[in-house]
Chains A and B, each alone.
Chain A
Amino acid sequence: MAALVAGLLVAGVVAARTNPAVLGSSLFALLRSLELAVLAVVTALPPAVLLGVWLANFAGDGWLPRAARRAFDAASTVPGVAAGLAGWLLLSDGVGDRDGTFAMTLVLASLALPQLATAAERALRSVPRELVEASFAAGASHTATLTGVSFRWASRPFAAAAAVAFGRSLAECAPLLCLAPHPGSAEPLTVALWRAPDGPGAAVTAAVLAALAVAVTAPSRRARPEVRP
């Protein structure tokens, strides 16, 4: 796996040195990918945090939270093409959405939401009980404890999960292909690589995607030091 990632990076550097002109198109694709991923995560973040708070602190163990947890677990295995097809069915006639940004953002956000909500719940459940009880003993309400204590404790693991969700949004291709209006419009990296795998810039595009994969997983390595069980 390390050789695969390293090989992709080296091939990209060699291709960029051989033909520097390809860097421009890769840069445009990178900006489009970043635009869509940022929009998707920003869209998904508020509802995901609120769902995580609900699941961790207020939902209890009724049928609705159980169904929500099961649905979020299941959503992590839903293929991207399924989300893309659902987006095509429900959003492809979006008024004024000529380049597909609105539909793509919503589909990517819907893919990130379950992952972020689950991460938020886990992060909030990881807050030490002593901290919470000390806050209650000091007279704080549940809401004040949540905002003043739990959020601060949970922010780091949740930020790592958000980075991973950002990475997943950058890596998605099938849903974007289902929603991409036509070749030639602003394309993210994955779609550009799919459309022209034999093109001169393909190696650079693949290398940029590999570099992004390494970059987005770095926060999770820092946030969750692997402690031997």
Chain B
Amino acid sequence: MTPLDAADRRTAAALHALAVLILGGVAVAAAAVLRRGLVGWSEGVPTGFAAAAGETLRAAGLATLLGGLPGVLVAVHLGELSDGAWRRRAIGVLQSAAALPGVVFGWTALQVLPALGRPAVGPLALGAVLGIMIVPAVALRALVALRAAPDGLREASAALGASPWHTAWRVVVPACRRDLGAAVGVGFARAAGETVAVQLLAARLGGPRTLGARILDGLPRAPADSPWNHSLFAMLIVLLIFTTGVALLTSPSRSSRASAPSPSAR
């Protein structure tokens, strides 16, 4: 590998400094949020916290049950058992659906649920809405996980006479189970963190009010630097544990990819 010359070393040092600056800035912002959240906790348990946390976990859990498994099944079908134009079009639809804003899902649910004879939204209906919302995200993430499985596995299975179906379910899926679990974890995180759709359904159809919805509701009304305002940050810390914490716990480390030799890394 070519050693770094003087100009390369200057570039590397400048980039390193920039990285420290940006990551330091992010850390300072996170610390400010954390500090206010801790102030909120030191002032007592936020009003309605237990109900909101329970609703968040219930909604995200139902959404993961209703949307996580279908998402993985869609990914296995598209990644292992289909080919050609159908596969390309289906992935295109998933990508477009994944890019739809949460507010659009919430608005659609506002139009559809009353038409289906459900004037009020219960936990199951909310879980179903969030479940539909996370299917594309879970499926796309699971597709990436399946694509990362070594081709040698498929070839060896095919050489032993296994059908594509058997290869997918008996070889590829078990080999990727951690990454598929991470895809489901991302789905849980997205459902738990969804704010606007949940808030719309709570405000208009009396749906459950999760942590995110309570934060969004309270922020414009809570006076700045009041205990109410602090309690919103306290709830945010718990919301971050439910979302980012869960996603981090379920995600395999990227260290294997990071440690792979890059083209010009020393």
| Distance A129 CA – B264 CA, assembled complex (angstroms) | 8
Residues of A within 8 A of B243 (CB): 77-79, 82
Docked-complex contact A125 and B263, CB < 8 angstroms: yes
Docked-complex contact B11 and A143, CB < 8 angstroms: yes
| Distance A132 CA – B32 CA, assembled complex (angstroms) | 43
Docked-complex contact A81 and B216, CB < 8 angstroms: yes
A65 to chain B, nearest CB (A): 7
**Which listed residue (B29, B79, B99, B219) contacts A229, Cβ 8 A?**
B79
| Distance A86 CA – B37 CA, assembled complex (angstroms) | 11
Residues of A within 8 A of B64 (CB): none
> A127-164, CB under 8 A of B: which get 1 and which 0?
11101110010000111011000100000000000001
Q: How large is the interface on B (under 10, 10 to 19, 20 to 34, 35 or more residues)?
A: 35 or more
> B63-101, CB under 8 A of A: which get 1 and which 0?
000000000000000010001000110011111111111
Q: List 22 A-B contacts (CB under 8 A).
A: A1-B136, A47-B22, A51-B18, A55-B258, A59-B16, A65-B19, A68-B23, A71-B26, A76-B247, A80-B193, A81-B212, A82-B240, A85-B233, A171-B102, A173-B103, A174-B196, A194-B196, A194-B200, A197-B204, A221-B92, A229-B79, A229-B146
Chain B residues near A (Cβ < 8 Å)? 1-2, 4-5, 7-8, 11-12, 15-16, 18-20, 22-23, 26, 29-30, 32-33, 36, 79, 83, 87-88, 91-104, 106-108, 110, 132, 135-136, 146-147, 149, 151, 154, 186, 189-190, 192-196, 200, 204, 212, 215-216, 219, 232-233, 236, 239-240, 243-244, 247-248, 251, 253-255, 258-260, 262-266
Chain A residues near B (Cβ < 8 Å)? 1-2, 4-5, 7-8, 47, 50-51, 53-61, 64-71, 73-74, 76-82, 85-86, 88-90, 110, 113, 124-125, 127-129, 131-133, 136, 141-143, 145-146, 150, 164, 167-168, 170-174, 177-178, 190, 193-194, 197, 202, 206, 209-210, 212-214, 216-217, 220-221, 225-226, 228-229
